[in-house]
Structure formats: C-alpha cells, structure tokens
Amino acid sequence: MKGVSVVIDESGDYLDLTLEPEHFEQELQTSSLLEYIAQGEFAQLYLSKSTVKSACDNANHYFKTGDHTIVTERIGERRHAEVDFRIAEDGMSAVMSLTAPYGGKLPTVKMVISLAARNNISRGLSSKRIKALLTQARQGAPGEVFESLIAKGLPPRNGKNSRFIPLVPNALERVLRPQTSGGDRVDMRNLGEVICVKIHTEVLRRAEPTLGRKGFTVSGTVLEANSGKQVEFKTGSGTVVSDRDPNLLVAAISGMPKFKDQTMNIEDTFICSGVNVGTGHVNYDGAVLVNGDVTEKMVIKATGDVTVNGFVESAHIESGGDIIITEGAMGKVNEDSTDFSCHLTAAGSIHVQHGQGIDIQCAGNITVGRQLAYSRLRCGGSVTVGQIDNPQGNLFACEIVSQSKVIAGTLGAVSGSTLKVDFSPGFNLLLERKDSLDELLKQLRENNLRHQEKLKIIKSKLVPEELRPKVEEAKELLKNESALLNWIEMKAEEMKQAKEVYLNDVQLVANKRLYPGVSVKLNNRNWRSEREYDRSKVVYEAHQWQFKPTV
C-alpha cells in the first residue's frame, strides 16, 4: 500500500506503523489496513486495532488538509504465552489457564511445573495433562484461551472399622453354592457335609481396624486420616469370646451356625433321621436338621433354621429362620388352587431343589434348584429358579406375589398354563408408608414454620426477667423440633428412593424361553404374553410394562 510501512523494530518484539499522507492516493480505510497487516509476516503478532484506527484517522486528516506530517505508531507486539493458575477453595484441585502466544513462545512442561510451584502447587501435578494443554495451545489461534485440570489432591481415606469374618457358612449359602466334583463341572447333589459345629469350634473372626491413608492438597498440606474403630463382638446365643484370642468367637454349644446382621448365633439343633408317624411332629426351640424325608401330614415348627436333607411330601413346616430342602417338596392341590397340602412358611428365605403343589410364604428370597410348578408363592424378596449365577430352571403354572425380580430359564409352558406374577402388595405397602410419612412431614413443616415466627416475635419484645427461662425452654424445644424435622425429611427422601428402587427391581427375566400365558401386574398396569418369545425380560418403565428381547 502506498504511503504505508510496517516493520519490526530492532529488538524483534514490537511492530511499528509509519503512514506518509503525501503518498496516499486516497483516504486510508482502517479495515483495509488491518487486512493488509494480517496477510503478511506479522499475522501472528498481537495487534492493537484501536491504535491502528487512531493512526489512520490522523493520517487521513493530514491527507485532506495537504499536511505532509508523517504518522508513526507502535501498533503491535510479540507476546509469549500467558499462564495462570486457580486453586479450588478446598485445595484439592488446580486448574491451569493458558493463553496461546502471539508469535511468541510456549513454555515447556518443566517450566510450567516450576511456575506451578511458585504458585503454591507442588503435589498431584500431571505432566501428561500439562503436555496435552500445551499441544492444544500450539495448534490454537493466537490469543485463544485453553483450560484444564492439571493437579489433583488426594483425599484421606479413613480406616475401616473392625470386620467380622464368618469361619463357617450358613446352611443356605452352602446349598446355593454346590461343591465341584472334579474338573469344572458342578454336582448339584454334592452339597458338602451338613454344617453342624461342635463345641469350641472357631466360628467368627474379628479383623483388626485399619489405620487409613493420609491425603494431601495440591499445595502439599497433609490431610490426616481417621483410624478405624474397634467394634465389639455382638455375642449371639451359643457363642463366647475365645480365651486365647480376643478376636475370635467360638461355639459354646454344639449346633447349627447362623451369621446374620453381623452376629453369629449357634442354634441348639435337633437332629433326626426323618419325620414320620414313628417320630411324631417336631416343635423345637432352635434349629432342626432332618437327615431324611418328611412324610405326609407331618408338622415341623422351629424358631431357627429347618434343614431337610431329603424329600418333603404334603407336610407343614414353619421356621423362624430359613427353610432348606436339599431334594424336593410335593403336595396336593384342589382344582381351584385354594387349598394346598404342603405348606412352607419362613421368617427368612426358602430353598427347594424342585417342587410341585406347594404353598410357600417367606420374608426373604425363594430359590429353586431345578423346577417349580402348580404352586403358590408369596415372598418379600426375589424368586430364582436355577443356579444363582445363571438361572436356567423351569417355572410354570404358579401364582406369585413378589417384591423383587422373578428369574428363571423358562417362564410358562408350551401348554400355555398360566403363570401369574403380582408385584402390587409390596408396592402398595411402600406407598402407604410413603404417604403417611409425607403427611407427617407436611404437618411438621407447618408447625415448625409457625413456631419460628412466634419465637421471632417474642425475641423482638422486651421479655421480663421471670419469663426468660420459659423463652430459653421454647428455644430448646424449637431446636429439637427442627432436628426431628430434618430427620423426617431424610427418611422421606429415603422412602422416595426406595420407591424408585422397587420399580427398577420388579421384572420378569427368562434366560431361555417365555411362553404364552405368562402375566405380570402392578396395580392397574398389566402385561400378558400372547405368544412364544426367546430370551427376554419384562420391565416396568415410564409407568408401563415394557417387553425387551435379551440380546
């Protein structure tokens, strides 16, 4: 451009503009001049547009007035990359902000680490993240700003409290994990020896609490960790602390071990070779172990677990713990499926290897080894037919009320016999509790707000000396009421989450086949299988039952 000269000064860092109005052919446009500079060797340098405009305006004025005064301005410079650091308030992270250079230099990783140290960032630095940020800036436009987390502190890890490690398995755990019989095959008949411990047997070990691990901030401040606490044994019935090892619990009596809620109990065990007309009914305060069959019309009632290493036929068994039948159970049922001759009722879970014509009720889970048919089930947990890790058993012609998933290899039968699953009762009970809690919470909130307003009015008044103790008492009551309100709000949130968990858990899963005649219900939402499907599941989503093939 005539009358325009743009040069780098002797230091090589600054850009100077010289305008000679006497050589202008016409008035100089600022935009044209900026475009001219940007296309040259100075495109990467920092340019002050306001200075360029001011120089243009002055030169144009001289051009119009015929003045030959030369305009000289320093309009740009070479700028190196700018580095800035921000440390989070908690000191557990640091962010680096990097402005791409204007024709200048980028720092090296080593230089950034040194700069970070001067800014009180000395620990948890990631050279890899710094290098990636520098690469971004190198490829970016001049003046572009890049940010990245480059340092992270290490939060302290508190020590763990004492843990309790059972040294003998519960009977139900033993049944659900059959022993291997050479190679990788699993023998479903080989369930190991019956767990019935002798006196002085070691049954529970207490692992020592751990010290935890110290942490640090990005500034290098050490964060102390809290050590775990020594938890005392919850000495259950039939157990004592060992004389030679305070971290060991041993059996005080011979019986069946049961580890539940971090407590080991040794249940006094009644052992017999069978229950029949020769032995009579069994009513025992403790666990019952039957090494044989339970015959027709016999009754077993126990406060502990009931384990039958045999077959149960049209009998009545009640347990205050789990019921475990290692072979099968069978009973008769009338045409209306209202009267069953075989009843199993447990406060815990129930396991049957196979069954037909059984009325099962329990608070826990129901597990079946191979097949279950023509039965009525009501449980507070899930129903699984087949091995726990890969259920492939058959479930058909049953009525089920469950509070968690129903899973088997085959659901229903080729004949189209009905399999009804109802998840409503557990959900309705949960809703009833949630509604009651929400109503209580609403009332408490209103009361608490009203009490706060009343106390605020009292505080604004001049209270006589003799009434001040009453005011202090009211303050304490309000404090307690607020604490109760917070606790109820926390429980209401837990109940809301429990509702969501329930809806996520209720589902039918068929690992091999789903036949016609299978129906599922949640209040007024129903789904019924009208044809045969391969591997699939039925889940509750968006207030509807949804069928999903398993890929």
The pLDDT profile of the chain, 551 residues, written as one tens digit per residue, is 788 888 888 888 888 888 888 888 888 888 888 888 877 777 788 888 899 889 888 888 888 888 888 888 888 888 899 999 999 998 999 999 999 998 888 999 999 999 999 999 999 999 999 999 999 998 888 889 999 999 999 999 999 998 888 888 776 776 666 554 444 444 433 343 446 778 888 888 998 899 899 999 999 999 999 999 988 888 778 888 888 888 888 888 888 888 887 888 887 888 888 999 888 899 988 888 898 999 999 999 998 889 999 999 999 999 999 999 988 999 998 877 778 999 999 999 999 999 999 999 999 999 999 999 999 999 999 999 998 888 999 999 999 999 999 999 999 998 878 999 999 999 999 999 999 999 999 999 999 999 989 888 888 888 788 888 888 888 899 899 899 999 999 999 999 999 999 999 999 999 999 999 999 999 999 999 989 999 999 999 988 999 999 87
H or E segment to which residue 539 belongs: strand 536-541
Angle ∠(186,190,196) on CA atoms, nearest 5: 135
Strands (E), 57-155: 71-77, 82-87, 93-99, 145-152
**pLDDT score at 202:** 87
Place of tokens 């010289």: 18
CA dist list (Å): 198 to 119, 202, 269, 310: 67, 9, 11, 23
In the numeric block, which tokens belong to residue 416? 């189209």
Cα(114)–Cα(291) distance, integer angstroms: 76
In the numeric block, which tokens belong to residue 537? 């599941």
How many other CB atoms sit within 10 Å of the CB of residue 297?
13
71-77/46-47 β-pairing: antiparallel
pTM over 0.75: no
DSSP 159: P
**pLDDT score at 182:** 47
Cα(400)–Cα(383) distance, integer angstroms: 9
SS (H, E, C) 180-238: ECCCCCECCCCCCCCCCECCCCEEEEEECCCCEECEECCCCCEECCCCCCCCCCCECCC
Cα(379)–Cα(355) distance, integer angstroms: 16
H or E segment to which residue 495 belongs: helix 468-505
**pLDDT score at 185:** 43
Q: What is the distance, to the nearest Å, from the Cα of residue 302 to the centroid of all Cα atoms in its chain?
A: 38
DSSP 325-389: EEEEEE--B-TTS--BSEEEEESS-EEEEEEESEEEEESS-EEEEEEEES-EEEESS-EEES-SS
**pLDDT score at 195:** 64
How many other CB atoms sit within 10 Å of the CB of residue 342?
24
158 φ, ψ (degrees, to nearest 5): -65, 150
H or E segment to which residue 431 belongs: helix 424-460
Cα(304)–Cα(318) distance, integer angstroms: 9
Cα(324)–Cα(191) distance, integer angstroms: 12
Q: In DSSP terms, which residues pair with 20 in a beta bridge?
A: none
How many other CB atoms sit within 10 Å of the CB of residue 348?
22
Domain spans in the chain, listed from the N-terminal domain onward: 4-77, 82-152
Q: In DSSP terms, which residues pair with 509 in a beta bridge?
A: 407, 537
In the numeric block, which tokens belong to residue 528? 């019924």
DSSP 107: P
In the numeric block, which tokens belong to residue 401? 């009320």
Closest CA to 314 of 294, 334, 300: 294
**pLDDT score at 4:** 84
Angle ∠(362,363,368) on CA atoms, nearest 5: 50
526 touches 545 (CB < 8 A): yes
Place of tokens 């402005």: 99
- Burial zone of 253 (CB within 10 Å; 0-12 exposed, 13-18 middle, 19+ buried): middle
Residues 6+ apart with CB under 8 A from 164: 204, 205, 206, 207, 231, 233, 259, 262, 264
In the numeric block, which tokens belong to residue 367? 């597990």
